[in-house]
Amino acid sequence: MTEKKQFIATEPSDKIRFTAESQDEQKTVLKITNQSEMKQAFKVKCTRNDLFRIKPSTGILDYNQTITVILIYRRVIGGQGKPPVEKQQFGVYHIPAPENCTCEGAWAEHYGPPQGEHKLKVVFNE
């Protein structure tokens, strides 16, 4: 079985960690690196927009460029500070981006599934 070439690398590569303490907002960092030989448009999505914020959530990465994305967990009011029971995750999706194209333009003109995706599970540490 041949391994599929990865055009985008993420750090961390498998899990996003937050602590389960009761502060209103927690931030962590996700680094995304373009390992391909062409520009890549990316999107970062999450399972619940009411719990998480992503800054920036979209963009274009040049060859070998790395971007730092801030992931923010916001405790739900009335949730007594406890993390959600259901499983949460972030997804990083990417497609080739033509030269002189905006991120929105690249996604608008793209047909079919993304070129690649990374799923990152959310883990709440006690």
Answer positive or negative: Cα dihedral of 106, 110, 116, 122: positive
Q: What is the pLDDT of residues 19-58, one digit of tens each?
A: 867 667 889 999 999 999 999 999 999 999 988 999 999 9
pLDDT surpasses 60 at 3: no
The domains found in the chain, sorted by start residue, are: 8-77+86-119 (2.60.40.10)
Residues 107 and 41 sit within 8 Å (Cβ to Cβ) = yes
Confidence of residue 1 (pLDDT cuts 50, 70, 90): very low
Please tell me the pTM assigned to this model: 0.87
Segment 59-103, tens digit of pLDDT: 999 999 999 999 999 876 555 556 666 789 999 999 999 989 999
Three-point CA angle 63, 37, 14, nearest 5°: 75
